[in-house]
Amino acid sequence: MSRDVVDAARRCVCPGSYDPVTAGHVDVIARAARLYDEVVVAVLHNPAKTGTFTVPERIELLRADLADAGVENVRLEAFANRLLVDVCRDVEAAVVVKGLRGGTDFAYELPMALMNRHLSGVETVFLPGDPQFEHVSSSLVKEVARFGGDITGLVSERVRAALTRRLAEHA
């Protein structure tokens, strides 16, 4: 096995929109950081969607939450209008790590994992999410917060405050 392949196998990419980052995201990234020498957290911007937070805001929230969790071997980068396999090639990662909350996530993620492998040989590692966060998604957190529900414990206090402020600005 070539040195480049070995080095790439020590680095993984955790892609997502992270709009906003949840406790489930932090859990998966922290666990990936224990498995790989470096985790590239690829904050992906979908121009077809209007985000609640800008990509730089998402990166700052992620950086702070990961620091609070003691995760040090991460690099946060923004990507737009690119295939995930191209991101992996650019950062020299041979592995994508995706968290799964349940069977629905697996059914959604599996075809993408197979396509990524078909396109470039990049493998996908699925990490089962912590069951306490099985019901947590960024979109559900935003919906609950929008209607005044309690999202304590689903996101950090920092994210909760930022989300509350942002939703009030658009009310």
Active site residue 138: yes
- From the candidates 2, 3, 34, 49, which is the catalytic residue? 49
- From the candidates 31, 58, 98, 101, which is the catalytic residue? 101
- From the candidates 31, 58, 138, 142, which is the catalytic residue? 138
Of 4, 11, 9, nearest to 33 (Cα)?
11
Instruction: Sort strands 11-16 and 38-45 into parallel, antiparallel or unpaired.
Output: parallel
Active site residue 101: yes
Say whether 152 sits in a helix, a strand or coil.
strand
Query: Rounded to whole angstroms, how far apart are CA atoms 79 and 147?
Result: 31
Strand order in the sheet with 95-100: 74-80, 38-45, 11-16, 95-100, 123-128
- From the candidates 25, 31, 58, 142, which is the catalytic residue? 25
With contact defined as beta carbons under 8 Å apart, do 158 and 129 qualify? no
Structure token pair of residue 148: 């005044």
Peptide bond connecting 111 to the previous residue in cis, omega within 30 degrees of 0: no
Say whether 112 sits in a helix, a strand or coil.
helix
Catalytic residue positions, numbered: 25, 49, 101, 138
